[in-house]
Structure 1
Amino acid sequence: MLNYTENVLPFMNIAHDIKTPLNIINSSIQLIELKLKEGKIIDEEFVLNEQIKILKNSSTKLIKIINDFINNTNIEDFNEINIEECNIVNVVEESTLYFADYLKNKNIQLIFDTSTEEKIIECDVDKIESVIFNLISNAIKFTPKYGKIQVNVYDKVDFVEIVVRDTGIGIPKDKIDKIFQRSIRLDNYCKEIEGSGIGLYIVKTIVDMHNGDIIVNSDIGKGSEFIIKIPAKNGEKENVT
């Protein structure tokens, strides 16, 4: 029998995944409304076209998330991983660049860099995408205007290392060991920041499913760094060091 956490986790995951594209859609709508109010839509046709592109991309992402969920209605499906070979560099890059236009509008710099153009590993692509989405979404919540979010991929031969860094407000030292607990909200100490607190729990769950590791480094006022290590061959946790 599945326990309570296993039963509700798929629904928490879908709700959290949906929230990100909805926030992006809402942000674009607000910008378009502002331009309409200022009477600048015609004068700023390029801006309007960019926002339409963002709306289309986010709508497509929403449809994919919902379709994937409908096609995998068995709750136990979330607790299984669909292992396939993939170029993890492409997976991480595409997931990162999804946020590019949104972050540009928020005046937050987004950088993607990799030590290799191709790294073939065995993983569940959809779940790894969810890891990247959740980590970047978390970074966005805590990174102020004119800040920076950087995503790096490193080929470590036996495993791949994915690093998400931000120049946000940082995490208190006494909370770092607790942030992956389902009941802990990262923003409890910063009430004005909105968030469900479930994203990092989902990240840890998925990384564990892949026999990987996650390390967090953070300094208050300077930012945070999340290091994800995923074995190149599924099940080879002993090689992730």
Structure 2
Amino acid sequence: MSSKTVFLLVLLSFILIFGTQVFLIIDYYNTTRAAWIKESNTVIEEAFRADLSLRNIEYRNSLNDDDLVVAPVPPSEDNTSYVDISNVSTKSVISVLDMAIHKHLSNQVPLQLHQLDSIISTILEAREIHSKFTVNLVRIASGEIIEASRDNWKSSLFLISSEPMLIDAEAGIALQLHLINPFQIIIKRMGLMLASSLILSLICILAFAYLLKVLARQKQLVAFKNEFLGTIAHELKRPVSSLTFNLDCLSMSGAPLATPQNTLLLNNSIRATDELNESINMIVTLSKHEEGMLVLNNLNIDLPGMLEELRDKFSEQRFKNKEVSISLEVAGQLPPLVGDRQLLMQCFANLIDNAIKYSGDTVEIQIRLVPEGNWVRTSIRDNGFGIPAEKIDMVFDKYSRVHLGKTQIKGFGIGLNYVKNIVEKHRGEVQVASEAGKGSEFSVLLPVS
């Protein structure tokens, strides 16, 4: 996974976490606000009934009578003082008895907002609600404020208002309580949620910043490593090219020194320089791939012809204490393929070379080409040492040596990693099937053009 992919995934995760926290805070705030509105409804209703009781006492005292004032019997049709609440929502209406008592008392002891304000203040203090407030007489139809207990109060973002409580259905007048900017109360109730959200957000921000620092450092180290490998490859390629040229000249000169023994030594030297040159090319290609600078030279390729060339090349070579047999089978008519011939040829050469290296004295390699729908499968099967089941998942890892410690075979551990990267660059796939002691089969699937 590239650093850019990791960065995008972490950024997306941070956005999701932060968004979730914001959503939870808003949802909890709305829930808290709804609870406060419900509590405000209770407060204004309780205060109005307390005020009604005080006015009732004052009215009895004025009459010097201890009898309770009760709701009058509904008058005849010509009496216009009858209170009709049949079409009024019960959610914002006190009891019919309270409304009737209020209407009866209002003629002698009218509602005083300053007294109601004092009662509400006592109730809020008893409930440990410390917030400025105002109680208003409003006209429900128009929302007009008839009278307010406090002057110069202003609405705010955090204003909490009770539902209008109808006290005079005939005139459409209601009481409404407003808690003015009860921000401290809301914060107090949401304190734990806000604190945990803030701490989690800070942790995410710090972790994200640390990750950016690590990714930047990692990118710097990768760039340094690739530059270092590129410099080494460049410096090695010049003497290797010169050595290859000189050996080729000697092999074609027909000089008297070309005895059978010298010819063998010369061919071995040429093969060694070719292997070194291929290793250098693989290092350079992998460095370009990691930097995202590898560009394929796509052309029509003759896959059977390429594999025949590799079969002949490896069959002609002499391997110490090994007898190598390579067979090639093409099943059916292959569809045309497009790819970078040099890179793909190096991939198949790596697979064949590994099959020879990690086998015993008698090496049998079977190469089979099979068309499969929109793919062409190239399988390379050997009778070698095989790969333990627990190590199959790591065979394509860079610098991984599955048989390290059990064999004296030299290598850099980049061959199969090279194969995987190049095949995937061609939008293909590499598969492996192996069993310890029974050989291995590597399959390369390439898309048809």
- Structure 2 Cα separation of the partners of residues 6 and 227 of structure 1: 34
- Structure 1 Cα separation of the partners of residues 306 and 379 of structure 2: 14
Q: Percent identity?
A: 25
Deviation at 1:93, TM superposition (A): 2.0
2:392 is matched with which residue: 169, 176, 187? 176
Give runs of aligned pairs for residues 94-133 of structure 1, distance below 5 A.
Answer: 94-102=309-317, 106-116=322-332, 119-133=335-349
TM-score, structure 1 normalization = 0.67
Deviation at 1:186, TM superposition (A): 2.1
Give runs of aligned pairs for residues 1-241 of structure 1, distance below 5 A.
Answer: 4=222, 8=226, 51=264, 58=271, 75=288, 79-102=294-317, 106-116=322-332, 119-233=335-449
Note the alpha carbon deviations across 1:132-163, whole angstroms, 9 max, x for none: 11111111111111121121111224111111
- Structure 2 Cα separation of the partners of residues 133 and 6 of structure 1: 29
Q: 1:56 to 1:111 in 2, by over 3 A?
A: farther
- Structure 2 Cα separation of the partners of residues 220 and 199 of structure 1: 20
Which deviates the most, 187-196 or 206-215? 187-196
Deviation at 1:119, TM superposition (A): 4.1
Give yes or no for contact 2:334–2:376 (8 Å, CA) kept in 1: no
- Structure 2 Cα separation of the partners of residues 63 and 117 of structure 1: 36
Q: 1:85 to 1:62 in 2, by over 3 A?
A: same
Give yes or no for contact 2:376–2:447 (8 Å, CA) kept in 1: yes
Give yes or no for contact 2:315–2:324 (8 Å, CA) kept in 1: no
Which residue type is aligned with residue 374 of structure 2?
D
Which residue type is aligned with residue 231 of structure 1?
P
**Aligned partner of residue 79 in structure 1, secondary structure:** coil
Which residue type is aligned with residue 134 of structure 1?
N
Deviation at 1:116, TM superposition (A): 4.0
Q: 1:86 to 1:142 in 2, by over 3 A?
A: same
- Structure 2 Cα separation of the partners of residues 139 and 6 of structure 1: 34
**Aligned partner of residue 81 in structure 1, secondary structure:** coil
Give yes or no for contact 1:159–1:231 (8 Å, CA) kept in 2: yes
Which residue type is aligned with residue 133 of structure 1?
A
Deviation at 1:216, TM superposition (A): 0.6
Deviation at 1:109, TM superposition (A): 1.6
Which residue type is aligned with residue 97 of structure 1?
D
Note the alpha carbon deviations across 1:74-120, whole angstroms, 9 max, x for none: 94696221111122111222123210122577212211221146542
Q: 1:184 to 1:61 in 2, by over 3 A?
A: closer
TM-score, structure 2 normalization = 0.38
- Structure 2 Cα separation of the partners of residues 63 and 221 of structure 1: 30
Note the alpha carbon deviations across 1:17-51, whole angstroms, 9 max, x for none: x9xxxxxx9xxxxxxxxxxxxxxx98xx6x987x5
Q: 1:63 to 1:108 in 2, by over 3 A?
A: closer
- Structure 2 Cα separation of the partners of residues 124 and 148 of structure 1: 28
Q: CA RMSD in A?
A: 4.1
Q: Which has the higher contact order (CA 8 A, sep 6+)?
A: 1
Q: 1:60 to 1:227 in 2, by over 3 A?
A: same
Aligned residue pairs, count: 204
Deviation at 1:194, TM superposition (A): 2.2
Q: Which runs of 5+ in 2 are unaligned?
A: 5-218, 238-243, 245-257
